[in-house]
Structure 1
Amino acid sequence: MAYWNSRGLRGSTLEELINFTNKKYRENGLALIQKIPTPIKPIKIDQKTRHISLAYFEQKSTVDYIGVVQGIAVCFDAKETTKDILPLQNIHEHQMVFMDDYEKQGGIAFFLVYFSKYNEYFYLPYQNIKCYWDKAKTGGRKSIPYKEMDRSYIISNKNGIYLHYLEQIKNYIDNN
Structure 2
Amino acid sequence: MKSGQGKRGMVFEEILNTANLQYKNKGVALISKRATPIKVLQTKGVHILKAVWESKSTVDYDGVYHGRSIQFEAKTSGKKRFDLNMLTDGQIAFLDQAEKQGAISFVLVEIRPMNSVYFIPNNMLQKYVRDSKKGGRKSIPLDELEIYADEVGQGRGIVLDYLAVVDKHTKALSG
TM over 0.5: yes
Instruction: Provide the C-alpha distance between the structure 1 equivalents of 2:92 and 2:131, rounded to a whole number of angstroms.
Output: 14
Instruction: Provide the C-alpha distance between the structure 2 equivalents of 1:100 and 1:160, rounded to a whole number of angstroms.
Output: 31
Instruction: Provide the C-alpha distance between the structure 1 equivalents of 2:49 and 2:140, rounded to a whole number of angstroms.
Output: 35
Which residue number in structure 1 is paired with residue 161 of structure 2?
Answer: 164
Instruction: Provide the C-alpha distance between the structure 2 equivalents of 1:171 and 1:38, rounded to a whole number of angstroms.
Output: 30
Equivalent residue pairs, number: 169
Question: Alpha-carbon deviation of 1:86?
Answer: 0.8
Which residue number in structure 2 is paired with residue 3 of structure 1?
Answer: none
Instruction: Provide the C-alpha distance between the structure 2 equivalents of 1:7 and 1:157, rounded to a whole number of angstroms.
Output: 26
Question: Alpha-carbon deviation of 1:43?
Answer: 3.5
Instruction: Provide the C-alpha distance between the structure 2 equivalents of 1:29 and 1:99, rounded to a whole number of angstroms.
Output: 25
Q: Does 1:29 align with 2:27?
A: yes
TM-score, length basis structure 2:
0.89
Q: Pick the aligned partner of 2:12 from 11, 14, 26.
A: 14
Paired letter, 1:142? K
Q: Does 1:126 align with 2:122?
A: yes
SS of the residue aligned with 1:67? strand
Instruction: Provide the C-alpha distance between the structure 2 equivalents of 1:42 and 1:9, rounded to a whole number of angstroms.
Output: 22
Structure 1 segments of 4 or more deviating over 6 A? none
Q: Higher helix proportion, which one?
A: 2
TM-score, length basis structure 1:
0.89
Instruction: Provide the C-alpha distance between the structure 2 equivalents of 1:92 and 1:103, rounded to a whole number of angstroms.
Output: 17
Q: Pick the aligned partner of 2:74 from 78, 91, 112.
A: 78
- Distance of aligned partners of 1:90 and 1:53 in 2 relative to their CA distance in 1, 3 Å threshold: farther
**133-142 vs 147-156, greater mean Cα deviation:** 147-156
Query: Identity, % of aligned pairs?
Result: 37
Question: Alpha-carbon deviation of 1:129?
Answer: 0.8
SS of the residue aligned with 1:149? helix
- Distance of aligned partners of 1:43 and 1:10 in 2 relative to their CA distance in 1, 3 Å threshold: farther
Instruction: Provide the C-alpha distance between the structure 1 equivalents of 2:36 and 2:141, rounded to a whole number of angstroms.
Output: 28
Task: Please give the root-mean-square deviation of Cα atoms over the aligned residues, in Å.
Answer: 1.7
Which residue number in structure 1 is paired with residue 94 of structure 2?
Answer: 98
Instruction: Provide the C-alpha distance between the structure 1 equivalents of 2:127 and 2:110, rounded to a whole number of angstroms.
Output: 20
- Distance of aligned partners of 1:23 and 1:51 in 2 relative to their CA distance in 1, 3 Å threshold: same
Which runs of structure 2 are paired with 1:51-62 in the superposition (5 Å)? 51-62=47-58
Instruction: Provide the C-alpha distance between the structure 1 equivalents of 2:137 and 2:49, rounded to a whole number of angstroms.
Output: 38
Question: Alpha-carbon deviation of 1:172?
Answer: 0.8
Instruction: Provide the C-alpha distance between the structure 2 equivalents of 1:40 and 1:84, rounded to a whole number of angstroms.
Output: 33
Question: Alpha-carbon deviation of 1:44?
Answer: 4.2
Instruction: Provide the C-alpha distance between the structure 2 equivalents of 1:89 and 1:81, rounded to a whole number of angstroms.
Output: 11
Which residue number in structure 2 is paired with residue 38 of structure 1?
Answer: 36
